[in-house]
Amino acid sequence: MKKILVTGAFGLVGSDLVPVLQKKYGKAHVFALGNKTITKDFDGTLVRGDVRAKETLARIVKQYKITDVYHLAGLLSVGGEKNPDLAWDVNISGLRNVLELARDYKLKVFWPSSIAAFGPTTPKQKTPQHTILEPTTIYGVTKLTGELLCQYYFNRWGVDVRSLRYPGLIGYQAPPGDGTTEYSVHIFYGLLKDGRYSCFLKKDARLPMMYIDDATRGTVALMDAPGKKISVRTSYNFAAINFTPAELVAEIKKLYSKFVCTYDPDPVKQHIAEGWPQSIDDRVARKDWGWKHEYNLSKMTKVMIAGLKKKLNL
């Protein structure tokens, strides 16, 4: 039976992925690693520790006989620019620790990369799987470095590590993270709390996005796929929808005609957004292991509003 460790279990992805894994493998087999942020009413098996502490991770792996790790702990793009040293330390030292343990204890690993691994010199439309990778944020630098480390540990030691380049992820379970695409989560809080939102990106800032249920389903599908189907050991392009703030506002207005969105672009966030692709070609993932998204803009908008209303007791 699999024993699964999830790092960053209470973050943007973990908050939604942990319940999916618990349902699939049973609560007793999923170990949620939390450090600073731990959800108060968490229903599951909690372990505490910092991904930078290799001995702590090794102890957990041995004690609970871990077989698989979903290594999600990391800083996002905006948070990374506030503290580049910390971003490098958490994102890279944490990943190296997990990869070393994976080699020594034969663990299977999932690790998320991001569209941030691309940069201003990358083709912006339908960005190919294999293309120019010159990221300019520290977050992107850690994602590109991480992709190469994953591929190295696979080639050199046969570590079965698999990865996806997540686009902007939209969900309501976790509070919005310190990222650039996160306006697309904040906007729903603004809508439901105040009927208005001031957007930190320009209205035409098109970015690749995905509803969180698609992301968690794709993540599990990648991990379930037979090893011989995995042709990419850096990280797979992984796409669903793409839209601009103005297009999201128009979609929300179909349901809440009085909603008001103003634009007050933040120079750092807007600059980051301009360095990223607008749409992603993920045909390799679709061909290799059958990736297919389910949520379009309108379905995502409806589910976000219903879910957040429930969460906020509105």
Token representation of residue 21: 């894994």
Q: What 3-state DSSP class applies to 70?
A: strand
If one asks whether residue 235 binds ligand SER (CB under 6 A), the answer comes out as no
Draw the binding track, 25-64, toward ligand SER (x: CB under 6 A; -: no contact): ----------------------------------------
CB–CB of 19/174 below 8 Å?
A: no
Q: What is the DSSP string of 155-219?
A: HHH---EEEEEE-EEE-SSSPP-SSSTTHHHHHHHHHHHHSEEEESS-TT--EEEEEHHHHHHHH
Active site residue 263: no
Strand partners, 45: 31
Q: Does 180 bind ligand SER (CB under 6 A)?
A: yes
Nearest distance in Å: CB 181, ligand SER: 4
- Among 11, 179, 190, 218, which residue interacts with ligand SER (rule: CB under 6 A)? 179
Catalytic residue among 25, 70, 105, 139: 139
Distances (CA, A) of 33 to 8, 42, 47, 173: 6, 12, 5, 17
CB of 286 to ligand SER, least distance (A): 21
In the numeric block, the tokens 């609560």 are attached to 27
By beta carbon distance, the residue nearest ligand SER is: 179
Nearest approach, Cβ of residue 171 and ligand SER (Å): 11
Q: Residue count at the site for ligand SER (CB under 6 A)?
A: 12
Asked if residue 118 binds ligand SER (CB under 6 A), the reply is no
Q: Which of residues 182-221 bind ligand SER (CB under 6 A)?
A: 182
The residue (of 116 and 174) whose beta carbon lies closer to ligand SER is 116
φ, ψ of residue 55 in degrees (nearest 5): -65, -40
Distance set, CA 232 to CA 86, 284, 285 (Å)? 29, 8, 9
Stretch that binds ligand SER, among 41-49, 86-94, 173-181, 187-195 (CB under 6 A): 173-181
Q: Which residues pair with 5 in a beta bridge?
A: 31, 69
Query: Out of 10, 70, 110, 166, which residue is the one contacting ligand SER (CB under 6 A)?
Result: 166
Q: Which stretch binds ligand SER (CB under 6 A): 49-57, 87-95, 179-187, 290-298?
A: 179-187
Cα–Cα distance for residue pair 210/260, rounded to 1 Å: 23
Closest CA to 227 of 180, 159, 293, 306: 159
Binding mask 77-116 for ligand SER (x = CB under 6 A): x------------------------------------xxx
Q: Which residues bind ligand SER (CB under 6 A)?
A: 76-77, 114-116, 139, 166, 168, 179-182
Active-site residue numbers?
139
